[in-house]
Structure formats: structure tokens, C-alpha cells
Amino acid sequence: MKFFVDTADVDDIRELNALGLVDGVTTNPSLILKSGRDIIEVTKEICGIVDGPVSAEVAATEYDQMMKEAAVLGDIADNICIKLPLTLDGLKACKSLTDAGHKTNVTLCFSANQALLAAKAGATYISPFVGRVDDIGTDGMDLIQEIRTIYDNYDFKTEILVASIRSVSHVKIAALIGADVSTIPPSTLRALVKHPLTDKGLAAFLADWEKTGQDIAG
């Protein structure tokens, strides 16, 4: 499973990318607001840090304006992926952009039927929001399983990009189901490495090593 980092904070992206853990980046208007920077400027910087796709989202809600904004975003860098809302106008724009050779990410997906429409429109990625589905009392990971089954039934090429991840368990279950990508907040991505037994074992090894009086590096 590929890991995208869900942030517009270039310091976090740079640090995680240096660890070899970042296959791409997703941004949205809320993350751009949090960064406090101009969307073109910060997106261009992000595209220069990572080799993989960087999702940049249109703000328009109507097709013609979406296409105008997509043209601006697409000119930022070769690894831009145009992010579009899961509406009829968004699906129309997805089809047009896909036909023109652009990568597309259809976002704000909350049902398997919506995901089916995105695949039919040729989306590169579909972004189901598991955390927000959990918030309304339904299991968001059930949605991922439904989409995986439908896409496998018909050999759709659209990749399932699990979004709105709230915990390390979301990442694990997404991987077990067979999602293609998880887009993960930096804090959650760092938390994947943590386990109390790892910390305990390391402490014991270090204590024993100190007793040997040896120094590997000399």
C-alpha cells in the first residue's frame, strides 16, 4: 500500500519524505488555510519535494470554472493530480481531464455508488472519507471493503485512496482490505512505528550493551 501524507506543511513533508515513507501528498482548501500560504506557492514547493503525485483541489463547483482552475493547477508541476468534488460537475470535469491525460482525484466520497461513478468517469484515485463516515455512526472501513469488491468485480483501474484517517487502526484495516493508498496525517504516520514492547525491548538491549563496555564505532 502506498502512503500519501495529508498536509500542506512543507516541513512535515520534507522530514517524512527523507525517511522514504512518502509516495505522494494530498492537500485541500482546509489544509491550505492551515498552512497560511498562497496555494500556488506552497503547492509548487511540495511538488519539488516529492516525486509522487500531489493532489491540488479546485475550489469551483461548476464545470467551466473547474476546468479553468484545473488548467492553472496543472501548470504548477508535472506531478500535479487535480482534485475534484464528487458531484455531477466534478465527474464531468474528471472525465475531461482524464481524457486529456491528467491525473485526477475525486474527493468527498461517502458511498460505494459514488465510488462506482468516479471509476466510470476514469478517476485516477477515489477518496472515501472513513473518519467522517465513522462520525455518523457507520463503519467507514465497511465502505472501503464495498468499494474494493466493486472495483475488483469489474477490474476498474481507479485506485482506492483512503482519506480522513483518524488512527493507526484505520491504516492497518485499509491495508488488510487491499486499499491502494492511505493518505495519512503526519502525526498518525509517525505513530505507526510505535509499540510499547519495541520501547521496552530497546531499553533492555541498550542496558545490556552498556554493561559490555564496548563501542561499535570506535
Catalytic residue set: 83
Q: Could you give the CA distance from residue 142 to residue 179 in angstroms, rounded to a whole number?
A: 12
Question: How many C-beta atoms lie closer than 10 Å to residue 110's C-beta?
Answer: 18
109 and 84 Cβ atoms separated by less than 8 Å: no
Q: Could you give the CA distance from residue 24 to residue 99 in angstroms, rounded to a whole number?
A: 22
Question: How many C-beta atoms lie closer than 10 Å to residue 74's C-beta?
Answer: 18
DSSP H or E stretch at residue 132: helix 130-135
Cell numbers for 35:
498552512
Determine the 3-state secondary structure of 76 from DSSP.
coil
Cell numbers for 81:
493530480
Q: Classify 108 in phi/psi space as left (phi over 0), alpha (psi -120 to 50) or beta.
A: left
